[in-house]
Amino acid sequence: MSQPHTPIVLSVAGSDSGGGAGIQADIKAISATGSYACTVITALTAQNTRGVSGVMPVTGAFIEQQFESVFSDIAVDAVKIGMLGDADTIRTVAAAIRKYQPKYVVLDPVMVATSGDVLLAKDATDTLISELIPLADVITPNLPEAQALLAARPELNTASAEDTAAHCEQLLGYGCKSVLIKGGHQAADTSTDFWLGAQGLRTYSSPRIDTQNTHGTGCTLSASIASFLAQGYAMADAIQQAKDYIQAAIEHADELRIGEGSGPVHHFYRQAR
């Protein structure tokens, strides 16, 4: 009797020593949503719930070796890409994506941590746009990241629905298959994400939760989108499933007591019941 297929997601991201974001959040989210996680680590960070105190990049050669080790043995269904740090790392990862041709690529353009610490060198943005965004099935910038990618005005954080839809259209022009602009930075009682793809524009709205424990929300959302894509969901449905998961993980975040700053979401709230 043949074994059922195991949905497998490769997370390409930096390590968060505090465990709330990056590779650690990705592994938790992928596991909690029913898929198997493997990794390519692009950087080591010294960080906790209060901020990032150090970053140590991984060499391009070792990133390539990690990709080779995974793809030579493991049948990856989807790749989630997070923190890359600099232009050379972006080029290395883009070359690997072109070489191994995974079925799905979810790109979270990690530029700024929840704490406000910059995680992507400013001169790397053009490389991200030219080399990696065109390879993505979906990119998942938050509002400040979308602003940085478009060199838009600061007013983007309070943009109207029409303006945000227009920004989705502009980002789609960079060559990716679809764009999800996350609305968590909006000053409103409801957070609305805008997704634009071949099927047109769709919005995903959820009530805002009063908690400071939101460390790793972007990593968690993009990783869980990749997880549901690996399980066979269509993109719009994968996003909805991931939105439902992250909403509940934030709702249960205050059940955890982690650190003195912005704590993580509760990835395993279902298992804790």
DSSP state of 128: I
Report d(CA 265, CA 173) in Å as an integer. Answer: 33
Rounded CA gap, 227 and 45, in Å? 24
Residue 151, sorted as left (phi over 0), alpha (psi -120 to 50) or beta, turns out to be left
Residue-by-residue DSSP string for 69-99 = HHHTT----EEEE----SHHHHHHHHHHHHH
In a domain, 80, yes or no: yes
Residue 195 maps to a domain: no
pLDDT band for position 1 (50/70/90)?
very low
pLDDT in tens, 144-181: 888 889 886 555 555 677 888 888 999 999 999 999 99
* pLDDT surpasses 60 at 72: yes
Catalytic residue IDs = 182, 214, 216-219
258 CB neighbour count, 10 Å cutoff: 17
Q: Domain range for residue 85?
A: 8-142+226-255
Per-residue pLDDT of 92-142, as tens digits, reads 999 999 999 999 999 999 876 555 566 677 779 999 999 999 999 999 998
> pTM surpassing 0.85?
yes
Q: Which tokens in the block code for residue 31?
A: 């596991």
**CA trace torsion 63, 70, 179, 50 (10° rounding):** -60
Are residues 263 and 213 in contact, defined by beta-carbon separation less than 8 angstroms? yes
Number of domains the chain is built from: 1
Residue 272 has pLDDT above 80, yes or no: no
Question: Taking the chain, what is the end-to-end CA distance rounded to the nearest angstrom?
Answer: 34
Does 154 fall in a domain?
no
Q: What is the pLDDT of residues 214-268, one digit of tens each?
A: 999 999 999 999 999 999 999 999 999 999 999 999 999 999 999 999 999 999 9
Structural domain contains residue 240? yes
* Lowest pLDDT segment from 4-13, 27-36, 207-216: 207-216
Which domain CATH number covers 44? Answer: 3.40.1190.20
